[in-house]
């Protein structure tokens, strides 16, 4: 049972330029945070090479951030009660800048991993609190617009991360992927403190649930490590992965029992009693996991099997923000008048269409063919976050918004990690299956195969070179078919998610009003 909060101090919405600057500052902080979860991915070879370790060891740069971030996000509600929304957000932004500076200055991999873990942990409260503070800046009628501004940064940043990270690594040096956070953080912190320091939320001394916190660290850390290292260690063929899975499951079971019976839980699980919260949060998490898995898969396929450079693959992904930026304000302004469940349904239908289009790609697909679904996907993104956040936060009392936002963002981040792990693993497994099936067709009775081999031999290739070329072609086609399989399955899953959205109850006068009311 959650602790009863003292009387909540209502703050009037910000007006005019103050609201504009507040939106810019909070969105910039969110963008910086989300960008850092993906910006290091393409820089790993450069970082590993400079610090004298293998690329496999270098992946801990990503893993350490993800594990620490996943642990910190659900603690937002508890820490907000203790320290206040504005103070906690400011501390989060300032410490994030300090951790970024330390990451750039790290002399070896061990130090960099430690500073990345610190960066991930202090980043935890930033996203839920930026959402909460932004909602409190807008009047009820414009809550949807507030969410539109916020969601654009959350959706565009993961796509921009690899593109920006690749450019910085190629043209400057990898420490600058961390240093660029410092000017952004200074601007965001200065504006936020100027506008929000007199809008602090009520605080009260909540006892620290040490056992609940320890169990949270144990099961979330084990699960995140299992997801990040599963593919590398061959999943459940590895004793390490089996151990982490057992610790995660047992730890989660004890965590549930403890948190549901403790008087002052570190995570407010009573939120799941609300139908709108769990249906909205689960739909957001699963959809984001599917979205993020495919965001990882497309550039991976383009670079490994279609001959694209990191920058070219980034250019394919970049236009996803165009239509999202155009439609998001429209969705935000109308979500209070139109049932958000309809908008979410439309979003899932467009996502399914985009993924179905991608499932028809072949190895002859040109740049325009590949980029068209990416442009269309921007429409789905605009109609995705705003209605689902509106549903998830609808009807909540003011003091519960940070906890609800933290918990729903935790589910989303965890689903993103699961989506990445499952997508890349299934991709390799399906490619192995298709490779075996295609290889069976290469024999003396197959005229196309014998003709291709004869053609290569007549060009001066030796027997082993001919077989190597044929194997490369088979590999390319196997991964193409595997990519089609993942896209098609993802399209079906998006359609299957639609009924989950309709389990939420409609809110009188539009859910966005309730979401806003929860922040005032």
Nearest to 275 by CA among 6, 42, 54, 505: 505
d(CA 241, CA 246): 9
Question: Is residue 286 within 8 Å of residue 296, measured between CB atoms?
Answer: no
d(CA 489, CA 491): 5
The pLDDT, as a whole number, for residue 131 is 79
pLDDT at 96: 93
Q: Is the pLDDT of residue 98 over 70?
A: yes
Give me the mean pLDDT over the 52-77 stretch: 75
Average confidence (pLDDT) over 432-454: 78
State the Cα–Cα distance between residues 4 and 292, nearest whole angstrom. 37
Q: Tokens in use for 327?
A: 């439609």
- DSSP 8-state assignment for residue 504: S
pLDDT at position 68 over 60: yes
| Widest Cα–Cα separation across the chain | 85
Could you give the CA distance from residue 211 to residue 444 in angstroms, rounded to a whole number? 67
| Closest listed residue to residue 489, CA positions, set 441, 429, 412 | 429
pLDDT at 56: 62
Residues in CB range of 80: below 8 A, 6 or more apart: 88, 125, 129, 132, 201, 402, 403
Q: What is the pLDDT of residue 14?
A: 66
Mean pLDDT of the chain: 81
CA distances from 171 to 100, 176, 180 (A): 20, 10, 14
Write down the residue that tokens 């497994």 correspond to: 429
DSSP class of residue 396 equals -
Of residues 419 and 206, more confidence is placed in 419
Q: Helices (H) and strands (E) in the chain — how many of each?
A: 23, 0
Q: What is the mean pLDDT of residues 347-375?
A: 93
What is the per-residue pLDDT for 518? 37
Choice among 50-59, 132-141, 307-316 with the minimum mean pLDDT: 50-59
pLDDT band, very low/low/confident/very high, at 9 (cuts 50, 70, 90): low
3-state secondary structure of 35: helix
How does DSSP assign 153-207, residue by residue?
A: HHHHHHHHHHHHHHHHHHHS-TTHHHHTHHHHHHHHHHHHHHHHTT-PPP---PP
Question: What global pTM score does this model have?
Answer: 0.80
Residue 497 has pLDDT above 90, yes or no: yes
Tokens 């057992």 label which residue? 246
Q: Examine the pLDDT at 266 and tell me if it is beyond 70.
A: yes
pLDDT, tens only, 428-437: 889 999 988 8
Q: What do you get for the CA distance between the two ends of the chain, in Å?
A: 23
Please give the pLDDT value at position 490. 95
Predicted local confidence at residue 42, as pLDDT: 67
Buried b / exposed e over 419-445, threshold 16 CB at 10 Å, is: bbbbbbebbeebbeebbeebeeebeee
Q: What is the CA radius of gyration of the chain?
A: 24
At 173 the three-state DSSP class reads: coil
């Amino acid at each position: 049972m959650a602790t009863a909060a003292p009387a909540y101090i209502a703050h009037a919405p910000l007006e005019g330029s103050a609201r504009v600057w507040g939106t810019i500052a909070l969105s910039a902080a969110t963008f910086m945070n989300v960008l850092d979860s993906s910006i290091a991915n393409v820089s790993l070879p450069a970082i590993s090479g400079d610090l004298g370790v293998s690329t496999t060891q270098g992946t801990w740069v990503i893993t350490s951030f993800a594990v620490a971030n996943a642990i910190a996000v659900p603690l937002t509600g508890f820490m907000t009660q203790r320290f206040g929304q504005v103070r906690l957000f400011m501390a989060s932004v300032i410490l994030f800048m300090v951790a970024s500076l330390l990451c750039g200055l790290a002399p070896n991999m061990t130090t960099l991993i430690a500073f990345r873990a610190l960066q991930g942990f202090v980043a935890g409260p930033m996203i839920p609190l930026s959402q909460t503070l932004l909602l409190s800046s807008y009047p009820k009628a414009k809550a949807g617009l507030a969410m539109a501004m916020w969601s654009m940064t959350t959706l565009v940043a993961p796509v921009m991360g690899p593109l920006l990270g690749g450019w910085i690594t190629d043209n400057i040096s990898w420490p600058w992927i961390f240093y660029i956070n410092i000017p952004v953080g200074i601007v965001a912190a200065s504006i936020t403190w100027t506008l929000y320091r007199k809008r602090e939320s009520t605080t009260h001394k909540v006892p620290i649930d040490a056992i609940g916190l320890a169990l949270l660290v144990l099961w979330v850390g084990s699960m995140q490590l299992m997801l990040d290292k599963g593919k590398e260690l061959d999943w459940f063929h590895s004793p390490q992965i089996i151990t982490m899975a057992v610790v995660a499951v047992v730890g989660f079971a004890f965590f549930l029992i403890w948190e549901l019976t403790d008087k002052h839980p570190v995570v407010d699980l009573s939120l799941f009693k609300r139908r709108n919260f769990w249906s909205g949060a689960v739909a957001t998490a699963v959809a984001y996991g599917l979205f993020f898995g495919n965001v990882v898969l497309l550039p991976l396929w383009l670079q490994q099997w279609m001959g694209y450079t990191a920058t070219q693959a980034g250019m394919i992904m970049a236009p996803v923000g165009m239509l999202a930026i155009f439609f998001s304000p429209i969705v935000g302004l109308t979500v209070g008048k139109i049932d958000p469940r309809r908008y979410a349904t439309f979003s899932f239908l467009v996502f399914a269409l985009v993924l179905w289009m991608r499932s028809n790609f072949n190895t002859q697909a040109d740049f325009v063919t590949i980029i068209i679904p990416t442009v269309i996907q921007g429409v789905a993104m605009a109609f995705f976050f705003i209605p689902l956040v509106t549903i998830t936060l609808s009807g909540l009392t003011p003091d519960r918004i940070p906890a609800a936002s933290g918990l729903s963002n935790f589910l989303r981040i965890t689903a993103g990690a699961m989506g990445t792990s499952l997508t890349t693993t299934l991709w390799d497994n399906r490619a192995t299956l298709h490779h075996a099936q295609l290889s069976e067709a290469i024999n003396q009775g197959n005229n196309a195969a014998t003709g291709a081999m004869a053609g290569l031999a007549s060009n001066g290739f030796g027997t082993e070179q001919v077989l190597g070329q044929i194997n490369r072609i088979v590999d390319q086609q196997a991964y193409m078919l595997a990519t089609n399989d993942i896209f098609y399955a993802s399209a079906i899953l998006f359609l299957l998610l639609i009924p989950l959205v309709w389990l939420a109850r409609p809110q009188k006068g539009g859910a966005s009003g309730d979401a806003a009311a929860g922040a005032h």
